[in-house]
Amino acid sequence: MDRAKPYTIPKREVWEAYKRVRANQGAAGIDGQTIADFEADLTNNLYKLWNRLASGSYFPPPVRRVDIPKSDGKTRPLGIPTVADRIAQMVVKRHLEPTVEPKFHQDSYGYRPGKSALDAISVARQRCWRYNWVLDLDIKAFFDSIEPDLLMRAVRKHTDCPWVLLYIERWLKAPVQMPDGNLVARERGTPQGGVISPLLANLFLHYAFDMWMCRYFPDIPFERYADDAICHCRTEDQAMALQKALDARFTDCGLTLHPDKTKIVYCRDESRRGTHPVYKFDFLGYTFRPRLVSKKAGGMGVSFGPAASPTALKAIRARSVVGPCTFAVTRLSMIWHGCSTHTSAAGSITMVGSVRQRSNLRSGASNDT
């Protein structure tokens, strides 16, 4: 029966995709169907999904949009597919990811197997010691701005599988159901919240940013986590030239650098005492800035390094009134403890701080209860 279908998609792949979606849980889409509801008739639901995928008759339903509050008082649009659509996306992701993943840049950290935000923070911390300047990039409304034609060109460079191409194109065209119930056609972008969206976003920026940097600015290292990126420069002039070039590059790719949030930062410490109005930046929940530290040789000094941002600490404190905080605070303590074992390029400075001490005290108290 499987061979009679236009596309060869093993039923086992749909089953494995379902298990991954089930492990991730998630809210219901526009049909209101939860994972528990889907499992009430699991065999039949999975068979219908496989049958439509393998026959080419699967059309993604609209994505339910919800607005998630941000720390600055604004909201971030999130697209929630239905359970069945999440499984379908996982089938395609499982087919495409092993092909593109080995091609990605080593300093791309977001949503990749074996890489994490903490890896990006650790590398950024060490590079901030070796490079005096940072270009902190902010791409305005990235997920909503991805140009579909350029994205499909990138996808076709890595696969000619007809059903993968078919369904990615259909997902890029799937409408969005707004909170008031109205359907809005999508002309560009991929919904932030879709199962396959992070992989497609990484693939788009692999060519729009990573490979472009390697070709035109090979001496400027960077760390990128999805659409958050920082670049390390030797001089302010180099940082300014890079910002101008990236502004033009992103414009060519249909993207826009946020004029207020993209900034050049001076990594000031006791050995770098120049003047510049901006000397700190936030990256993945951490604030990088000059900090008072203890030296191994004794005494105190100033080093440029990360610690949890005020926004991240506020979120942790908000969670501390309930049980799950024990894990969050203990993990935070481990992160800072791990960072403190690294020294500067001169090998003379370790990180200390009242925040780290408070987190250790909290985790210790939690472990005793």
How many whole angstroms separate alpha carbon 121 and alpha carbon 123? 6
CB 62 within 8 A of CB 175: yes
pLDDT given for residue 3 in this prediction: 57
pLDDT given for residue 352 in this prediction: 37
Tens-place pLDDT, residues 286-339: 999 999 988 888 889 999 999 988 888 877 777 665 544 444 444 444 344 334
Tens-place pLDDT, residues 75-89: 888 999 999 999 999
Determine which of 25-29, 106-110, 211-215 has the lowest per-residue pLDDT on average.
Answer: 25-29
What is the average pLDDT across 144-166? 97
What is the average pLDDT across 44-52? 98
CB 285 within 8 A of CB 309: yes
> The pTM is what?
0.84
All residues at 6 or more sequence positions from 313 whose CB lies less than 8 Å from its CB, including other chains: 355
What is the average pLDDT across 16-29? 95
Q: What share of the chain is helix, strand, coil (3-state, %, to 5)?
A: 45, 20, 35
Residue 274 pLDDT more than 50?
yes
Q: What are phi and psi of 303, to 5 degrees?
A: -125, 150
Q: What is the mean pLDDT of the chain?
A: 87
What is the average pLDDT across 205-218? 98
Q: How confident is the model at residue 4 (pLDDT cuts 50, 70, 90)?
A: confident
How many whole angstroms separate alpha carbon 128 and alpha carbon 133? 8
